[in-house]
Amino acid sequence: MSFIVDKDDPTFTQYEHLPMLSYDHEGGGMGPPLNAGALDVAPKCDIIGFIGDDHRFRSSGWDTYITAALKGIGGGIAFGDDLAQRQNLATQVFISSAVVQALGWMALPGATHLYLDNTWMTLSSGMNRLIYVPQAVIEHMHPFFGKAEMDEGYVKANSQTMIDHDRLVFEAWTRDGAAQDVAKALASLS
């Protein structure tokens, strides 16, 4: 297991004892650091997971459920119950390492923070390798669901500028790149 921690995190020193990759990025958002971390660990593991700092594990054995589900479909993308979006959107996700290696990314290149979950849903649906695992409860403690206070990070990540930018990146990918990426991802699982 490996962790990505922003170098400007005020609690950075508390994580130095963990296996981690530190990331220094000016633009905020989770896309670039997620890709850096995923590509770093991809050759060393079978499944790569993304859980944001505002997700909380609520069920024991969640990892066993996710692993069994992914093995049961022959690899792909799995996600648990976030107690908000539920089966409608993968706000946390677990992807077969082979898929990440084949694509060269885990988070849509060019997207800063938003539409990553939409990308995972589109990619895995196209592959017919998406599985929702309701026994794996990983609650999304987001202010939009009334589960946390809005702070500077949430405001920046959900600004209209970020929404517009990441939406355009996602729309361009669905139009110009999704089909090729679905084919690459499927081939990696053969």
Per-residue tokens: 106: 């885990």
Domain residue limits, the chain: 46-188
Which of these, 123, 96, 97, 125, lies nearest to 111 by C-alpha position? 123
pLDDT digits (tens, 9 = 90+) for 134-168: 999 999 877 666 776 766 766 676 788 888 999 99
CB 125 within 8 A of CB 72: no
> How many of the other CB atoms lie within 10 Å of CB of 95?
27
Q: What is the C-alpha to C-alpha distance for residues 123 and 90, in angstroms, rounded to an integer?
A: 12
* pLDDT exceeds 90 at position 16: no
- CA distances (Å), 92 to each of 81, 85, 120, 172, in order? 9, 11, 10, 23
Prediction pTM value: 0.86
pLDDT digits (tens, 9 = 90+) for 92-117: 999 999 999 999 999 999 998 889 99
Q: What is the C-alpha to C-alpha distance for residues 120 and 110, in angstroms, rounded to an integer?
A: 15
